[in-house]
Structure 1
Amino acid sequence: MPTTPPQLADDLRGFVRGRVIADELARGLYATDASPFHILPAAVVVPLDEDDLIAVVKYAHEHAVPITPRGAGTGLAGESLGAGIVLDLSANFRAISDITGDTVTVEPGVTLAELNAELAVHSRRFAPDPASGGSCTLGGMIATNASGGSAFRHGYTRDHLAGVRAVRDDGLFLETSTTDERLTAVATLLAENRELIRAHQPLAPFNRCGYLLPGVLTRGGVDLAKLLAGSEGTLAVVTRATLRTIPLAGGVCQFALGFTTLEAALRAGPELRAATGIVACDVLDQRLLSLAKIALVPAAAGAVILGKIEADTEREAVEFGQQAVERVRAAHHCLVIVEPTGEPQVLDRLRAFRDSAVSSLYALGRGRRPEAFIEDIGVPPEVLPEFVARVQEILRADELNASFLVHLLTGQIHTRPLLDVTLPADREKMWPLADKVHTLALELRGTISTQHGVGLARTPWVEKQYGPLTAVFREIKRTFDPKNILNPGKILGPDPSRPAWPMASHGVKGTQPGVWQTPASGSTSDGSGSFSAVSQTPDSDVSPAPFPTPVERQPLLLWRDNSPQDEANKCNGCGDCRPRRGPVRMCPIFRATGDEAATPRAKANVVRLLDDPAKLEGDEVEAVARLCVNCKMCRDECRAKVDVPKLMLEAKAAYHEAHGFRRHDWLLARAESLMRLASRSSWTVNVLLASRGSRWLLEKFFGLSRHRKLPRFTHRTFLRQAWWAGLTKRPKATEARKVAYFVDVFANVCDPGIGHAAVAVLKHHGFEVHVPFRQRGSGMTPLSFGDADAARDAARYNLRALVELARDGYTIVCTEPAAALALSHDYLSLLDDADAALVANQTVELTTFLGELHERGELKSPTRPLLIGIGHHVPCHVKATGKLPASPKLLSLIEGITVDAIDRGCSGMAGAWGLGARNFEASLKAGAEMIAALDRPRILYGSTECSACRMQMQQASGKRTLHPVQYLAMAYGLIEMDLE
């Protein structure tokens, strides 16, 4: 039997064809989920297929090694954490097949969002709708029997599960259509205990706690699918499932009602439960409303109900909604905030309102934050007001506050106490609080789990809920898993070999050995990565181990309000950063690889798991950090607003300061300087780049992909032409309409036409344009590769050229989004300098600047029609500036033009990252959605502000791609271009 993780990994690598993850930090990425718990696995296996998985299961059975199946790791109860082998099924088990009639077959790694996107083509959908639907996998949904806010009408996953294929603990298959001695034994057990099963079910109508035995025994024997749904991988590992689907809703209506108190909102339940077509009613308490800061909600509102109705048509749905609202208004005092409507824009606003209200809790930063450990309780709907009132009394007794999100129709209550788990006093409150609240729920014949799984959080109370029925659970577990290797300690337990609640201790004050010194403030902030398996039971007497002498490390970037460790600790592990498709952008590298290490969550974890900040410079950290391309989308789309890109810039800088640069990284980090040099010998360089032999040598010795089509260089750079045209001479005009143009590299040495178009359009609108001759590339490329010193040098050089202009009131415009982002954001992380702040305040991306003119009515109408179809891609760095993208609206002002906004994720180029040979294929995969949208026949040309995106778009589609300002300049009649 293997006794250490390295031995276990060596054994597994002998027969596993998929990846085996053995080093401690990489295993640590699987030690957490969206819960407050932590268990470091001995090994992680990413099996390639069923044969791989079966081999691992057989090995685990033979050597009595625990095994835990894992999907996206979005669980709130710790259900996918285990100390043995964690099986990551999210990467390779991703097939969707047999979409016929009302069923579809899926593998467990398929996400709900991916499935519904495929089903939408057939006008179908999978009904359960958990909040994590963008990231959660179908395997995880089956394991936890997920539902979502629409459970009132559509029920649970098990209600839509037609069949499963699963692997037993000994590696043999279980299938719905086959007989098995274990299923026969369970059938006998269930028949003998039919009355016991009936007698010990909660009155709460929506229960998913424990093994869900009602309905499992049929005339034909055990319904395997129903038995495994909600079993959390403790009975078998599901490898395939056949799901029942339903038609897309013909019409949807939503409304919003305001109430003076939470109790008043809860008392509106009976009227809404009786409404025709009602699907969901979410009650948001005042804390959620105040944090969301939504303008449409009156300040006096103590709670808001968001209702949703589905019907055959939109008109019918709206009629049903109006009837529901009138019924509530007749019985209760309330304010109609949003009348029942099916208008898409209003529906989007209401969805954004709910998401903002919930996500705002995670953006609280340091201090007390919402913790998920009593947030899955269900009670009979008629006792909701009593239950919530008594929970509030319990919280007050412990001097705690909490947020409440209530599914009014189903009696499901998500209570998130606000706790600072870095404080021992707050941690000590968790277990007693959970016991009181769970006991109250059971007193009211409720359930301790309705949606989010039992896992580690609720297993200690399962026996209290079911009493003598627990013995039946144990016999089922013994029948299916006699060695107790399948996800032990979940549903039945807790695992006696470890604490009931193995809490993560990162950031716990008084126990962390590392110290980050933040230069901006001079204050210290504790960093941590050590973990303590201290039980939260009241009688625990485990003391924290002595910690070593603190190690002080000076961050290489500026962290004004916190330290890197504090920033990383803001991540709650929710897994929302794992979308494989859809409108959100994070993370292009994860989308291409499916690797957990590429997720923003993992990148935050590598920092918060460190027991010594000095280890930030280690190889294991750098391996994860290099998966960040500094697109900044995770920073902006993350609920908690964790600045993961900056964390990874810090990690890259620390590594390169300690170890220097690899040859390939050195070349790519200096792309800006090398491009300037190439322009000086442009004819020779262009000839060499056209040679297959030269491209092969560049790939061999410098890592530059020979397949990447590079732009041609020009000797007549834009800055040289600007000098000859007198643009570099500072004008004497003192009027307010004056701008300074920061050209960056691509428009300077590869396509000066961008610069000429920008200058022409600005002058056309009455601006005096000055082009500072002494400017370099923005430094964004070396910064993205971790060369903080080179980026800082570029920042200082450019500030010298720009700061006096900023003082004189010049607006600094950039045609390159990365440059605008560098000047307005990243320089503030490089230099503690008032000049940097001044330039940042005066800098704007060009299309944003023109969009602001249009909003003020100051933008002239284009006069020349362009009879073409354009696909416009909004670059990540435009979004990252925090401004709404203006280009689609600007381009639509041109007569005759057809603009398709292909906002389908990242282009995949990610600046210089996509130039690398090792990244070429991944780059195309990361941009696959955008590329497919661009490839539509009606789109003749591409459009984007980003030069790197332009390279990708032209290479992947063969369609010429221009900067939006070039199309505008043509439409104004300012320049002539041959679009052929």
Structure 2
Amino acid sequence: SHWLKYGSARRHVLSLEVVLADGTVLRAEREPLVGGASQDANPRKRDLINALVRVVQENASAIRAAQPRTPVHRGGYGLAEVLGDGYFDFARLLTGSEGTLALVTEAVLRTVPWPRYRGVTLLLFDSLDSATRAVLEVLSHRPSACDLMDRRHLSLARENDARFELLIPRDIEAALLVETEGERLVEVRERIYRLAEDICRVRRLAVESRQALDPAEVELFWQLARRITLRGCTKPVPIVEDIVVPPEILPDFLVRVQNVLKRHEVVASLFAHAGQGQLHLQPFLNLADRQDVRKMQCLAEDLYDQVFAAGGILGGEHAAGLSRTPFLRRQYGELYEVMRQVKALLDPQHLLNPGKVIADATATVGTWLRPPVPAAKPEEGPPAEPDRPPMRDLIELQLSWNPGQAADLVRSCNGCGDCRTQAPEARMCPMFRALPTEEASPRAKANLLRGVITGRVSLESLTSGEFKAVADLCFNCHMCALECPARVDIPRLMAESKGAYVAAKGLRFSEAVLIRLDLLGMLGGRLAPLVNWALGNRQMRWLLEKLLGIAQGRKLPRVAARSFVRRAARRRLTRPTRRTGHKVAYFVDAYANYHDPQLGQALVAVLEHNGVAVYVPPEQKQSGLPALSLGDLDFARRVAHHNVAVLAEAVRQGYHVVATEPAAALCLIREYPALLDDDDVRLVASHTSEACTYLWRMHTQGRLQLDLRPINATVGYHMPCRLKALEVGSPGENLLRLIPGLTVTRIEEGCSGMAGTFGLRRENYRTSLRIGWNLICRLRHPDIQAGTTECSTCKIQMEQGTSKPTLHPIKLLAYSYGLLPEAEGLLSATAKERVVT
């Protein structure tokens, strides 16, 4: 998107360390030439550079003739830019060669300063033609990005995120997202509003505009361009995308594209980096339908005919890959043979990334398609295609969906590998980060189920130990479902898979214990002094590990002598109030009930201080998430049915449900609707909030009291994965920043690694610590006095490797209100060796 300002990656690569096909390791950079030849001390490198120089010099006219008139042209090998006055730029030749010339093991990049301020203007148009004609006018304002989205792309965005319903009216046919950067906020503000004035009022091309300067709002606008969920059998398929034409001919070129699509009776969505004339065209096709697969090749040929006729090229941003390589020979003409000579010099046996850039012309667009997931049986889902066999009979599904929906979810994974990322700014996948093997990746789970559905893997494998070992590498953090470009819900697929295994084989004893930690908490409370002594005793913890499988080294929470629900009953909070106005039903869950009743007391105190009545339904049970994560779906369903019945009645009486445990809120909002299919579960889900989210909403509505006393401390805030999965922002962190004197340091080091009961188990203990180690190390910084997080199991992990306490944000808020004086001691408390504070 930001090519307009920063250009392509080729411009920013200074040098590369590479491995050639014969195993030679070289440093590739701008190599000096003396008398037109390299004098490098390495004979292999010297001979190779001299041979490449000869190829470029001998074919200079063919190279010049093949250069397109488009501003972007990254495809193939960049031969036009490698030979200069007294140098050969070896790094530039290899950059963008798609791994077909060498393997890159190290890169030195030229960086540019991050812009201090960014602002975006969203220009809305009543026709696609008006939007494309506006592009050249927008470029006169020197934007850093200018992206075009058509009606279908906008429609997909609205389906994906309800916030875009308010942002973009349904009658809008196209939009331009324009970003402006600058060092002064006033300058950026002036430029984005001047742009809107020019395009909307002076030139009358756009009908409306939206502006954003706040970083969170700017990011929301960019999500419009980036987060498009692909669902269903027929969906937009990126098979003929990434084409570039001169920007000035965009209006006429898109008319030609529409004519091709009409001729093939295909619709498509369009997203374009319009400032540089680069188009991502995605036809709506069903790749499980052989007729659509055959149509794909003809469609690609006709569309590429129009691209070449317009002086355009393929591959302006992405690799040519397997699908576009068959068309490169036609695009480059004589230059293709020159590129073949380059390939022969560096990889004569075609060992590196075969089939890409330089390949035989026998492949088609559909040659490398993955085996399709067939349609479900007619009585169970969408009708099967006439030339495809119906989807195989599956064992009885235990979640609230049909085989067609399950197959659709599996089909949505295209194997892109984004879930294997190690990027620090991403969360997924914590397990893959700790165990970087393919079976630990979310993609592996989708591929395994794809194999079952297509018949390549036997149905019986679902109940095998090998399958369970792979399924257990998902601990239901939901980060892949949140960050996957196609929003593939791997946790739901794995819940179904684990459910199949448990239905056939049952739970191990240690797993059965973990799904009833509430029962242990209740029984332990009756002998609290003895139990708490045992939790801190080395010998008793050894015995606990042997009997129950709970890691001896894991710090565990103390049990309370009196549960929170019992304390609430003494205050008559377990009786519904007759009051009108704002009132909440508190869903406590096991940790606050049996281990940290002070948290429940803090929530009640804060809510009552702000005029909100609190009701604690006495019949409620634990959330059941441990059972869901471990595959005991029958038990989880019984718990869900009971809790929904209790909470639905409260909602009908005017209560809004809140939970201090993010996992419990996620259960009510996401997991219970996957287990049950009735109106009550949807009623409860639509009237449930995580507690900090509820309080922050009160603040944004002007209803939260701000009579807060200073807390002179620095705390490190960690956002739990299951709160992040709710997509509500950072309400707990925002509340903490309201407290005078309190310095909040955001610790963004990924998942804590506890993942509910996962980190409690002996076999997972070291993996759990490996996942959360960076978080623990940050908490050890001397400037941080305490940790803070909404999640109880994250708290356990945060106190595992440090003596500093970790508190729930609501406890700190209650203390600042003067409602929880005992919290002052908690800020300076020291965690014991085997128990948490």
- Same fold flag (TM > 0.5): yes
Give the conservation status (yes or no) of the 8 Å contact 2:736–2:742: yes
Q: Could you tell me how far 1:490 is from its partner in structure 2? A: 0.8
Q: Does 1:415 align with 2:281?
A: yes
Q: 1:289 to 1:711 in 2, by over 3 A?
A: same
Q: 1:500 to 1:488 in 2, by over 3 A?
A: farther
Among candidates 527, 538, 558, match of residue 712 of structure 1:
558
Deviating more after overlay: 819-828 vs 658-667: 658-667
Write the distance in 2 (CA, Å) between the matches of 1:764 and 1:843. 21
Please show how residues 312-391 of structure 1 align to structure 2 within 5 Å: 313=184, 332-335=203-206, 343=213, 345=214, 348-360=216-228, 362-363=229-230, 365-391=231-257
- Match of 2:9? 157
Among candidates 583, 592, 600, match of residue 434 of structure 2:
592
Aligned residue type for 1:600: P
Give the conservation status (yes or no) of the 8 Å contact 1:581–1:591: no
Give the conservation status (yes or no) of the 8 Å contact 1:731–1:768: no
Question: Cα RMSD over matched residues?
Answer: 3.5
Please show how residues 233-632 of structure 1 align to structure 2 within 5 Å: 233-249=99-115, 252-276=118-142, 278-293=143-158, 294=164, 295-297=166-168, 301-310=172-181, 313=184, 332-335=203-206, 343=213, 345=214, 348-360=216-228, 362-363=229-230, 365-494=231-360, 501-509=367-375, 523-524=380-381, 550-559=392-401, 562-581=404-423, 584-610=426-452, 611-612=454-455, 615-632=461-478
Please show how residues 862-901 of structure 1 align to structure 2 within 5 Å: 862=707, 864-881=709-726, 883-901=728-746
Q: Could you tell me how far 1:353 is from its partner in structure 2? A: 1.9
Aligned residue type for 2:407: Q
Between Structure 1 and Structure 2, the one with more helix by share is 2
Q: Could you tell me how far 1:400 is from its partner in structure 2? A: 1.6
Give the conservation status (yes or no) of the 8 Å contact 1:507–1:527: no
Q: Could you tell me how far 1:693 is from its partner in structure 2? A: 3.3
Q: Could you tell me how far 1:938 is from its partner in structure 2? A: 4.7
Q: Could you tell me how far 1:651 is from its partner in structure 2? A: 1.1
Give the conservation status (yes or no) of the 8 Å contact 1:516–1:554: no
Write the distance in 1 (CA, Å) between the matches of 2:140 and 2:578. 71
The sequence identity of aligned pairs, in percent, is: 40
Aligned residue type for 1:304: A
- Match of 2:696? 851
Aligned residue type for 2:540: S
Deviations along 1:788-828, one digit per CA (max 9) or x if unpaired, are 12222333444565454444444443322222322343223
Write the distance in 2 (CA, Å) between the matches of 1:825 and 1:500. 37
Among candidates 628, 640, 660, match of residue 783 of structure 1:
628
Write the distance in 2 (CA, Å) between the matches of 1:403 and 1:680. 63
Deviating more after overlay: 890-899 vs 466-475: 890-899
- Match of 1:947? 792
Give the conservation status (yes or no) of the 8 Å contact 2:239–2:365: no
Write the distance in 1 (CA, Å) between the matches of 2:582 and 2:112. 58
Aligned residue type for 2:380: S
Q: Could you tell me how far 1:474 is from its partner in structure 2? A: 2.1
Q: Could you tell me how far 1:635 is from its partner in structure 2? A: 2.8
Which sections of structure 1, spanning at least 5 residues, go unmatched?
Answer: 1-148, 510-514, 529-542
Deviations along 1:311-362, one digit per CA (max 9) or x if unpaired, are 5655555666677667767984334855887x3x0x54244223224423x2
Among candidates 529, 536, 543, match of residue 690 of structure 1:
536
TM-score by length of 2: 0.86
Deviating more after overlay: 683-692 vs 612-621: 612-621
Aligned residue type for 2:22: D
Write the distance in 1 (CA, Å) between the matches of 2:710 and 2:182. 44
Q: Could you tell me how far 1:445 is from its partner in structure 2? A: 2.1
Please show how residues 9-158 of structure 1 align to structure 2 within 5 Å: 149-158=1-10
Deviations along 1:676-715, one digit per CA (max 9) or x if unpaired, are 3333333333233222333344445654333321111233
Give the conservation status (yes or no) of the 8 Å contact 2:660–2:790: yes
Write the distance in 1 (CA, Å) between the matches of 2:116 and 2:608. 51
Aligned residue type for 1:482: P
- Match of 2:22? 170
Write the distance in 2 (CA, Å) between the matches of 1:305 and 1:159. 27
Q: Could you tell me how far 1:453 is from its partner in structure 2? A: 0.8
Write the distance in 2 (CA, Å) between the matches of 1:697 and 1:594. 33
| Residue aligned with 2:468, SS | helix
- Match of 2:665? 820
Write the distance in 1 (CA, Å) between the matches of 2:686 and 2:433. 34
Q: Could you tell me how far 1:524 is from its partner in structure 2? A: 4.2
Deviations along 1:406-445, one digit per CA (max 9) or x if unpaired, are 2233221111112222223322211111111112111222
| Residue aligned with 2:242, SS | strand
Give the conservation status (yes or no) of the 8 Å contact 1:827–1:836: yes
| Residue aligned with 2:276, SS | coil
Q: 1:663 to 1:172 in 2, by over 3 A?
A: farther
Deviating more after overlay: 187-196 vs 593-602: 593-602
Write the distance in 1 (CA, Å) between the matches of 2:781 and 2:223. 32
Q: 1:219 to 1:919 in 2, by over 3 A?
A: farther
Deviating more after overlay: 326-335 vs 478-487: 326-335
Deviating more after overlay: 367-376 vs 874-883: 874-883
Write the distance in 2 (CA, Å) between the matches of 1:310 and 1:811. 43
Aligned residue type for 1:417: P
| Residue aligned with 1:241, SS | strand
| Residue aligned with 1:374, SS | coil
Give the conservation status (yes or no) of the 8 Å contact 1:254–1:307: yes
Write the distance in 1 (CA, Å) between the matches of 2:197 and 2:576. 66
Aligned residue type for 1:566: D
- Match of 1:4? none
- Match of 2:82? 216
- Match of 1:76? none
Q: 1:180 to 1:698 in 2, by over 3 A?
A: farther
Deviations along 1:890-943, one digit per CA (max 9) or x if unpaired, are 344444444445465433321111223443343344345654554555543333
Q: 1:951 to 1:527 in 2, by over 3 A?
A: farther
Q: Could you tell me how far 1:264 is from its partner in structure 2? A: 2.5
Q: 1:680 to 1:866 in 2, by over 3 A?
A: same
| Residue aligned with 1:609, SS | helix
Q: Could you tell me how far 1:566 is from its partner in structure 2? A: 1.6
| Residue aligned with 2:97, SS | coil
Deviations along 1:566-615, one digit per CA (max 9) or x if unpaired, are 22223344444444345554333234344444443443333233224554
Aligned residue type for 2:524: A
Write the distance in 2 (CA, Å) between the matches of 1:593 and 1:733. 54
Give the conservation status (yes or no) of the 8 Å contact 1:255–1:308: yes
Aligned residue type for 2:97: S
TM-score by length of 1: 0.74
Write the distance in 2 (CA, Å) between the matches of 1:808 and 1:549. 45
Deviating more after overlay: 687-696 vs 199-208: 687-696
Write the distance in 2 (CA, Å) between the matches of 1:525 and 1:395. 25
Write the distance in 2 (CA, Å) between the matches of 1:212 and 1:685. 70
| Residue aligned with 1:281, SS | strand
Write the distance in 1 (CA, Å) between the matches of 2:432 and 2:4. 34
| Residue aligned with 1:159, SS | helix
Q: Could you tell me how far 1:499 is from its partner in structure 2? A: 8.4
